[in-house]
Structure 1
Amino acid sequence: MNQKNTSGKTRLLVFISVLVAQGMVLSFIERMIPFPFIAPGAKLGLANIVTVTAVYLLTFKEAAAVVLLRIFLTAATFGSLSSFLYSLAGGVLSLLVMAGIVKVFRNDFSLIGVSIAGAIFHNLGQLLVASFMINSFLVLTYLPILMIVAIPTGLFVGFVARYLIAYLERVNMIR
């Protein structure tokens, strides 16, 4: 293996590790922010900044590694089994939808639109886990409220991710 190829793989591994660490820190910070909302349990989704960034800058496999590592390590460090299940369902569903939109409709959806879709499907994934845990689909009646909340939070995450991606591309951080 030549030096340039090894250097590129090392750089990629470091970049993925930094994204995972940033996601963990953002999750921790978000847990400390009292976020009074009409919708109980609604949050800004700060760690999704990392997910959107990974979807746009990495392959699907690499972005999935970022999401799964962040969720597992955050739950192991700061959370519980239930927080792990909620995060896993929301994070994986959000990742699948965002990656699918970027792959199929890249020219039709802006990064902000992709982020909003990710926020909506993150909420849907979490509600599906909640409905399974309490053995009732009535909790899904909460979805319209969470979809409304997902719009401003998805906008915020999308704007921040857009600036982060532009910066990372400008400094030639990835590939």
Structure 2
Amino acid sequence: MNRTKKLVYLSLMISQSLVLYIIESFLPPLSFIAPGAKLGLANIITLSVLYISGVRDAFVVLSMRILISSLFSGGVSSFIYSISGGMLSLLAMSATKKLSRFDISIVGVSVSGALFYNIGQLLAAAAIIRNIKILMYLPVLAYVSVGTGIFVGIVSKFLVERSGFKKYITKAP
């Protein structure tokens, strides 16, 4: 893929990720299940990019989405929580995806990403408030992350299978 096509592709993915982030901000929170829990709609794009074009492109999409969304609506604290959760999540998804010999599906990769996103955010919170006891909230968030991870994984699987981008991403023979 030439540089222009790659730039357009990444720009479209970042834009879609931001749109899903904005849509999610209008949805009611999942506070009835667990305070602070969200669906993670923007992660649909990150996971799809991870499968379509690899971890580098997923890193670019994730980091740009977090930076832009924090600049416009979140501020510094939002950036810290999002970047710590997002980067740990991407690392976990990339590592889980490499375990393909164990037949881990995109849904399983998504669940691992959702779980590690919560772990990253809780570790950031523990560092900020200087109290590791906040990690006691992890079992509650882990329970929620299974459900949201399954949802994100199913939608991402649908997108990856029907994406027209695959033909632009694959290298020429």
Q: TM-score, normalised by structure 1?
A: 0.90
Q: Does 1:30 align with 2:24?
A: yes
- Which of 85, 89, 97 is the matching residue for 2:80? 85
Deviation at 1:106, TM superposition (A): 1.8
**CA-to-aligned-CA distance 1:99-152 (integer Å, 9 cap, x gap):** 11112x023210000000000000000001111111101110000000000011
Write the distance in 1 (CA, Å) between the matches of 2:53 and 2:165. Answer: 16
Structure 2: runs of 5 or more not aligned: none
> Any conservation in 1 of the 2:89–2:114 contact (CA below 8 Å)?
yes
The RMSD of aligned alpha carbons is 1.5
Query: How does 1:118-137 map onto structure 2 within 5 Å?
Result: 118-137=113-132
How far did 1:169 drift?
Answer: 4.8
- Determine which of 15, 19, 25 is the counterpart of 2:13: 19
User: How far does residue 66 in structure 1 lie from its aligned partner after superposition?
Assistant: 1.1
Residue 52 of structure 1, aligned match among 47, 51, 57: 47
- Match of 1:60, as an amino acid? V
Structure 2 residue 163 is the aligned partner of structure 1 residue 174: no
Contact 1:57 1:174 in 2 (8 A): yes
Name the structure 2 match of 1:161.
156
**Equivalent in the alignment of 1:43:** 38
Q: 1:138 aligns with which of 130, 133, 136?
A: 133
Aligned to 2:64: 69
Q: Does the 8 A contact of 2:52 with 2:166 survive in 1?
A: no
Distance in 2 of aligned mates of 1:173 and 1:86:
34
Q: Which runs of 5+ in 1 are unaligned?
A: none
Aligned-partner Cα distance in 2 for 1:119–1:99 = 13
SS of 1:21 mapped into structure 2: helix
Alignment-derived partner of residue 9 in structure 1: 3
Task: Return the offset for 1:67.
Answer: 0.9
Q: Paired residue for 1:106? A: 100
How many residue pairs were aligned? 168
Secondary structure in structure 2 of the residue aligned to 1:107: helix
